[in-house]
Amino acid sequence: MRPRGKLLPLHGADDRAELSDDALIAACATGDDAARSRLFERHVDAVHRFVGRMQASDDGEVDDLVQATFVEAFRSAARYRGPSVRAWLYGIAANLTRAYARREIRRKRAHQAIASVDRLPATLDMVRRDVLARLPAALTALPHDLRTVFILVDLEQQRGCEVAAALRIPEGTVWRRLYRARQALRITLEGGRP
């Protein structure tokens, strides 16, 4: 039976700082706002970074997707089965990003996603700056599945088994997608077409 209505908190704020992710998720399932807040604080940076890299262009869209990810996570907290809360959040964010892209924006034009060269470190040489400036566009041009795996494994440094669990795919598929993503990026950055 799902908890109905809103319950009063079961713990003091001091306790929550020490609680594990699993314990916080269990408290979230009972509607504990303080637990939700704590879990949000723990993972919002990672989720925001992931969604930002997936979406790459519009800050408003990124914020909307981050918000939707946490709302969906808190709604379905009772269904969480592990093994990692962060990987689970990544899985939710990946699904929402895919749905959002399909419904709202489809594929962004590459020029919309090109990062500002001004944001790159000034010490980089011009060739490297040029390559780096093209990278976000190249990343955005990747198919969603390849982009998700590349960001999670290579940029967020998640383990293959966790990514597989989050995306509900076999671990072998994670590595195959990762290989294809890197290959496509390499070709794009070298001036070819993926």
- Chain contacts with another protein (rule: CB under 8 A): 1-12, 19-20, 22-23, 26-27, 29-31, 33, 36-37, 40-41, 44-45, 48-49, 52-53, 62-63, 66-67, 70-71, 74-75, 115, 119-121, 124, 128, 131-132, 135-136, 139, 150, 153-155, 157, 159-160, 172, 175-176, 178-179, 182, 185-186, 189
Q: Minimal CA–CA distance to 153: which of 176, 184, 187?
A: 176
CB of 75 vs another protein, minimal distance in Å: 6
Q: How far is the CB of 33 from another protein (least distance, A)?
A: 6
Least separation in angstroms between residue 79's CB and another protein is 13
By C-alpha distance, which of 86, 94, 84, 91 is closest to 51? 94
Other CB atoms within 10 A of residue 175 CB = 15
N- to C-terminal Cα distance for the chain? 50
Closest approach, Cβ 32 to another protein, in A, equals 8
Of residues 22 and 109, the one with the C-beta less far from another protein: 22
